[in-house]
Amino acid sequence: MKELFKNYLYEKNILVNDYKTPVEHPFETAFSLARLFGIRVVEGHDLLHHRLIAYAEEQEVRSVPAPFYRGFPESVRSLSKEALLFDQLVHYVVTYGFGDFSEPGYSLFEKDFERCAFAEDVTPRDFRVLDEKTAEGYLLEIVTGCLGSTRPLSNTEYEMVLEYFRTYGDVDLPVASKNTQIRLLADTRNIDYAKGLMLSDVIKLVEHIQYRVYGCRNVKALHFSSSDRKFVTAVINDIARRGAVDLRTCYEKKAVWCGLLHHIHYKPCCEEARVFTQAMRSKGNESVYSDFEKEMAAGNVRGAVQVLKSGKGSGALMRNLYYVLSRCQNNEDVDYVLSQVDKSNPIILLQMMVAGTNSGERTFRFVKHNLLQVHNETEEESLARKSRLSPAVAERVTNVLREAVAAAYHGRLGKVYIHPSMAKIAVPLQEATGMSGAGVLPKGSRLPMPEGKKIRAFTYWELVHDIDLSVVGLSDPARVDCELMTVEFSWRNMAYKQNAAITFSGDQTSGYKGGSEYFDIDLEKFRSIYPSLRYLVFSNAMYSSSTFDQCYCTAGYMLRDLLDSGEVYEPKTVKSSFRVNGATTQAHLFALDLVKNEFVWLNVSRHSECHVTAVAGVNFLAPYFELADKLNLQMLFTMLATEVVDDPAKADVVVTDEVLELAEGVEQYRSNDIERTMALLS
């Protein structure tokens, strides 16, 4: 099996035995995996090949260099503020002053140190061992889940699907997401993937090629090669011959279409294409939204609803629901609009239910090219907004959405057993911007932090000089009685803020051959020193003139009993380690909830060209802190069940991370089965 697939399954706590030699010494292999990496094998002991030890070592242990303070954290706490500051200034003079990045920099004032032997107890991770045939079957199940989801895939999920097709051939599986379909069409240049696309989708294809191949976001400044022109022309002709010409939707991008048709020297291949080409090149605009706005301007809300539904479908009404409701003149209009809500598309209903009806200053979030784009509504925009809903209407909308979702999902899975821990795992609705790795969960998911444990956040990189790990403390964003407070902990100020509660390993600016940075957090002491802070947000920023997809970078966290025991990086204590690989300079990793004593998964690649984490720039993350409360796996599977049972033996579907002996035919969903859960949503 290809390494890409084995590595992907390893992140799901699965080891694959694809070796051709017989299994020898399985007991010793199990013991070594447990002792070295904290891996407990719970299934497939008879497949425990000794070469799995070397494979696990490749996944868990890299030659992670010592941080700037090699005796971190003890040596850092023993230095004065003046020594800490002078250390960094000297390093900056050598690197950014003299341009000498040849060797990693280290402290000048650090005293000799001797580490204690590592002797902590660690919580093991449960792994299964599968043979190659069984692993391929499980991989096909994951691919089917990815293709069956209407949600965009993350880069890692998509690359796995694409490589699966290249390895095993095009599997005859329906592709539910147009985003995925367009990416497959662009990367394979196989016209068969154009089936199901409408003509208006060609602009999305052009945008994808323009960005992925040429790195340009401006679709009006095309850089197409001759082969690109021929390919796009062939796609247009194929769609036109099928009669899938949604002319009124194409009017919405008329200026872009005119430029594209001119750039590719397009000549119509059939009557449908001729009519379309003439419409795009002539004057006038007959888009649905043009007629919709005319009806809205005239105060005809019901007419506007019908224009949207007949011309664009029910999804368009859902995307404009709050705008339409805000223009209703009476309760009868409100009743009419809510009666037109499409109850057959639960994904849109779920998204709206989670987003809520925010009447304050809004933050707009949308995904483009698998990066999160953020726009914070300005004070002027907020004052000019006319789409606020009254509390009574907002409550009615929430109730309608909740009832519609429950009705759409009810009874799909039969009897379901749900472990209580699933109430903390968010539903994977927005994973397109996510990064991959061991221990990663859907955005907004929460994990309990064991009492007494210390948190060590880390990042490690190669092939660029300078990546910065930082922490931003936030007061409770949900409190309306006080202004949001933020406190920065980063290379810019840690010389003055090092203390027993939060300790930084030093700013490494010459890590091309390997650099690392760490933050140690003692939660009890931190709460005492900073009682006003509710959350700690951990982020990576690319300080070098590059982006994360052009280097090797990982990040994650460890749980430690004794911060000064063993090496700085101890693989056995790592609870999550994932690749930071977005085409951006900003990545938000995870947060700590200091009140509930929980981790909150963020895992967000944000579109940014800023090379320093901005304190004010993390405020948009606040909704992720509430995601698991609004919608979690316990709620979802309760809706999907005909009956929720309290005994796994009585269930058709079991939702738990526990290792159970299940009867044949009983399905199990785990918290990290993101792809399979996404397919269930559609």
Q: Report the residue count for the chain.
A: 682
8 Å CB contact between 624 and 602: yes
Quick one: pLDDT band at residue 384, thresholds 50, 70, 90?
A: low
Model confidence at 360: pLDDT above 60: no
Among 254-263, 359-368, 475-484, 593-602, the range scoring the smallest mean pLDDT is: 359-368
Structure tokens at 140: 């096909």
pLDDT digits (tens, 9 = 90+) for 241-269: 999 999 988 998 999 999 999 999 999 99
Quick one: pLDDT band at residue 151, thresholds 50, 70, 90?
A: confident
Model confidence at 615: pLDDT above 70: no
Among 16-25, 301-310, 319-328, 346-355, the range scoring the smallest mean pLDDT is: 346-355
What is the mean pLDDT of the segment spanning 97-119? 85
Q: What is the pLDDT of residue 171?
A: 62
Structure tokens at 534: 């509710």
What is the mean pLDDT of the segment spanning 408-430? 91
Q: What is the pLDDT of residue 457?
A: 95
What is the mean pLDDT of the segment spanning 656-679? 89
Residue 28 one-letter amino acid? E
Tell me if the bond preceding 73 is cis, omega within 30° of 0.
yes
Model confidence at 201: pLDDT above 80: yes
Calculate the CA dihedral of residues 489, 492, 495, 496 and round it to 10 degrees. -70
Backbone angles phi, psi at 234, to 5 degrees: -65, -40
Q: What is the pLDDT of residue 392?
A: 85
Pairing state of beta strands 643-645 and 415-418?
parallel
Pairing state of beta strands 125-131 and 14-17?
parallel
Q: What is the pLDDT of residue 348?
A: 81
202-214 and 254-263 helices cross at what angle (nearest 10)?
A: 60
Structure tokens at 22: 């017989």
Q: What is the pLDDT of residue 506?
A: 94
Backbone angles phi, psi at 597, to 5 degrees: 60, 55
8 Å CB contact between 491 and 445: no
Q: Which residue has the higher pLDDT, 409 or 360?
A: 409
Alpha helices in 242-378 (DSSP H): 247-250, 254-263, 271-281, 288-297, 301-312, 314-319, 321-325, 331-339, 346-355
CA nearest neighbour of 248 among 276, 220, 206 = 276
pLDDT digits (tens, 9 = 90+) for 84-96: 999 999 999 999 9
Among 82-91, 236-245, 475-484, the range scoring the smallest mean pLDDT is: 475-484
Q: Which range, 49-58, 345-354, 430-439, has the best average confidence (pLDDT)?
A: 49-58
Among 397-401, 460-464, 493-497, the range scoring the smallest mean pLDDT is: 397-401
Q: What is the pLDDT of residue 563?
A: 75
Contacts of 419 (CB under 8 A, 6+ apart): 655, 656, 657, 658
- Judged on CB neighbours under 10 Å (0-12, 13-18, 19+), 321 is buried
Q: How far apart are CA 643 and CA 639, in angstroms?
A: 9
Query: DSSP per residue over 607-626, as a string?
Result: ----SS--GGGGGGGGGGGG
Model confidence at 115: pLDDT above 80: no
**Which residues of the chain does CATH 2.60.60.30 include?**
433-621
DSSP helix/strand/coil, 124? coil
Q: What is the pLDDT of residue 266?
A: 94
H or E stretch at 188: helix 178-188
Q: What is the pTM of this model?
A: 0.85
Fill in the DSSP letter of residue 345.
Answer: -
Model confidence at 275: pLDDT above 90: yes
Q: What is the pLDDT of residue 95?
A: 92
pLDDT digits (tens, 9 = 90+) for 304-317: 999 988 888 878 88
Model confidence at 238: pLDDT above 60: yes
Model confidence at 358: pLDDT above 60: no
CA nearest neighbour of 672 among 646, 627, 622, 633 = 633
Tokens 């929980």 belong to 598
Structure tokens at 21: 């030699």
Model confidence at 456: pLDDT above 90: yes
Q: How far apart are CA 1 and CA 14, in angstroms?
A: 13
**Helix, strand, coil percentages for the chain (3-state, nearest 5):** 45, 20, 40
8 Å CB contact between 391 and 325: no
Sheet with 653-655, strands from edge to edge, namely 643-645, 415-418, 653-655, 667-669
Pairing state of beta strands 574-579 and 552-560?
antiparallel
Q: Which fold has domain 433-621?
A: Lipoxygenase-1 (2.60.60)
Quick one: pLDDT band at residue 567, thresholds 50, 70, 90?
A: confident
Q: How far apart are CA 176 and CA 179, in angstroms?
A: 9
Q: How far apart are CA 403 and CA 338, in angstroms?
A: 12
Q: What is the pLDDT of residue 385?
A: 65
Model confidence at 357: pLDDT above 70: no
CA nearest neighbour of 448 among 251, 236, 598 = 598
What is the mean pLDDT of the segment spanning 336-345? 83
- Judged on CB neighbours under 10 Å (0-12, 13-18, 19+), 392 is exposed
What is the mean pLDDT of the segment spanning 515-529? 94
Model confidence at 127: pLDDT above 90: yes
